[in-house]
Chains A and B, each alone.
Chain A
Amino acid sequence: MTIANSALLQLLQLSSPALPVGAYSYSEGLETLVQQGRLSDAEAVYQWLVQELRYGAVRLEAAVLLRCHQAMGDRNFDALQSWNQWLSAARETAELRHQSWQMGRSLGQLLQALSPALQPAIVCCQPHCNFATAFAIAAAHWEIEAVIALLGYLQSWASSLVNAAVKLVPLGQTRGQQLLLKLGPDLESAVENILLLQDADLASSGWGLAIASMQHETLYSRLFRS
């Protein structure tokens, strides 16, 4: 797999924690789990993230990202819009849905400022453009191949949640970086699996994530947004 220098730079920009979409303000259930004593060390966090990649909500997001990337390549805005709606309706909790919409709105506004040519694609996904959709729109526009965009998306997702775990568990900074490095092969195999998913295979089994995210909506004291 090779990537053009320009595409690499744009992927790094898109998947950077410095992208102003507020990814750092969400814990996707981790804050609830840490408070309940269910995630108490780096290994438990690692296992949780691996399960999420194999069976969870992020796997569905990633599969929709691929489909939106394809729709952009085909200039098929109807498909883009319906996959975006599909993802909104597949979000299991209000918290996960609002996170996806808020980050999608922020990225959509940014993209329209960076590249006015993207306006029609962003507008067709309003009023609620999911983050994975906006990410796919940008990646397709910058000619970042779907498989590489997917790897960047998942790495950026993992990086945000590892940072959340560093604050919550807490873990040392070095421990956090070790954890992220250890996730590398899991991110690669997740991408391989997600590329093979047919539409009929789009299902998840993350009951633990759904319940932790629901409970976070009413958690008494919290650092992360709901």
Chain B
Amino acid sequence: MNRSKFVTLLVSISLFFGCASSSDQLLKTDKGQVELRKMQSRVFDTNDSEKTLRTIIATLQDLGFVIDKADATLGTVTATKLEGFNLVMTVSIRPKGEKQLIVRASAQFGLKAVVDPKPYQEFFTSLGKAMFLEAQQVD
């Protein structure tokens, strides 16, 4: 292979991987926002924010997370699980009407956002058991 062919090959490879700046990741989502929100959210039949946040914290601890942050006013909890991998999770709550709360969880595995529905299903099943309430899909 002569030099010009080699250079052409290198240029082709770099074009194949795209020329977008890595900083464009800042406001990028890996899935449609509506789809992502639906997969990450569940509704619970309770309006007790503090008890729900405390249950979220206890569930995350049961799942092997260390709690990094918790804010009762904002209704958010952030926790990290280190087990040969780095899994960071932020869980937030907000009221839905007067008698329900929406719990939303978003996770980052290593350097990637988790967009697979299965880990979220696992998390909400665990949380539902701890809440003694059924995790309902958001309409």
Verify that A and B bind, or say they do not.
no
List residues of chain B with CB under 8 Å of any chain A CB.
none
